[in-house]
Amino acid sequence: MPWWGWIVLGVLLLGAEVVLPTDFWLVFIGLSALAVGGIAYLAPGLPATGEWALFGVLAAVSVLFFRRLVRERFASVPADGRADDTLVGQTGWALEPLAPGAMGRVELRGSTWSARNAGAAAIASGARVRVERVEGLTLHVQPEA
């Protein structure tokens, strides 16, 4: 493959990583293709089998040794599996009545959130609520004591 073919392949793989949820797999494969493109440019006599072998080794080594580090650094959920629940314990206001187990809307930190009444008592509109846990974009709230 010509050196520019490796560059095009690398750019396409990096672009696919942005569009598709591949969890950082294509980043390292794309970077490996870019590296092989650079090496092929600097060493034009490298045989095609050598280029493909180098590509395979670079891709495997980078995925094995660096993917986990990058994924932990940029993942929304830490490696220990616990979500970053900075909203837990915060107080807000119910924007509508919430029966036990019912969904509704609450205001918290100036934003409107979907919420589920996690308590056994009904929550009146305008009542203060405390966030017990966060599940996706849904807050599980209880009336503030």
Domain harbouring 102, CATH code: 2.40.50.140
**Which pLDDT score is estimated for 38?**
97
- Token pair belonging to 92: 């807000």
Paired residues of 131 in beta bridges = 141
The token pair at 96 is 């509508």
Q: What are phi and psi of 109, to 5 degrees?
A: 55, 35
- 69 and 8 both lie in a single domain: yes
Q: Tell me, yes or no, whether 105 and 137 share the same domain.
A: yes
How would DSSP label each residue in 70-124?
A: HHHHH-SS-TTS----TTTT-EEEESS-B-TT-EEEEEETTEEEEEEE-SSS-B-
pLDDT of residue 28: 92
Give the pLDDT band (50/70/90) at residue 128: very high
Q: Are residues 137 and 99 in the same domain?
A: yes
Domain containing residue 117: 91-143
- The tokens describing 63, both together, are 């995925």
Note whether residue 81 is domain-resident: no
Q: Is residue 19 part of a domain?
A: yes
How much is the mean pLDDT over the chain? 89
Residue 118 in any domain: the answer is yes
pLDDT digits (tens, 9 = 90+) for 11-64: 999 999 889 878 888 999 999 999 999 999 999 999 999 999 999 999 999 999
**99, 122 contact by CB (below 8 A):** yes
CA distance 43 to 1: 13
Does the global pTM surpass 0.75?
no
Question: Count of domains in the chain?
Answer: 2
d(CA 116, CA 135): 10
Q: What is the DSSP letter of 13?
A: H
User: Does residue 66 share a domain with residue 8?
Assistant: yes
85 in a domain, yes or no? no
Residue type, 24: F
Are 141 and 108 in contact by the 8 Å Cβ rule? The answer is: no
10 and 41 together in one domain: yes
Rounded CA-CA distance 60/66 in Å is: 10
Q: In Å, how far from its chain's centre is CA 86?
A: 17
